[in-house]
A and B are shown apart, each in its own frame.
Chain A
């Protein structure tokens, strides 16, 4: 059974940093691209970042470019999101999602999602 379990969310002050983790199991992690998608409370979905199977390529939404860094450790079946210079508008549930079809991240078909972790940026 595929499982994606996010952790690391919480309350953080504006300008500070936070690192999210996603533990994956039930599939061959290093065969697939992985993504982070966020959803502000009561709002729609926003793609945040994606990473290819071998970390060879990454992509970011304009809203987080230069502040967030996606990474993965295939030996640990884990995905990460380092979030720096956090802003109030980064407040959201952050979902880890598995790319369905291939190891390349340039596709928005996610066949498995985690349960999400809430990041609240407030003073």
Chain B
């Protein structure tokens, strides 16, 4: 099973700040890495697919990069509505697995 480790677990940030969340895979997964946003009491929503492809309707301040074992989700000019927990997910091999999540708090 591929283990995904996100860092940090928690981050408190101010609006307009740039945020970087990383996801490291226990073995190479190519670009089969996707990012989701989960706001409190809501279901997850897809932000980025295949490491760097923005999903339809997602604000342009969200971007992804990386391949192999190291991946990054970047949020440029953070907005208050971005307060959420962010998860990475690998679909390179079964079973599909998720990172433990990174919770963003807006100061």
A joins B in a complex: no
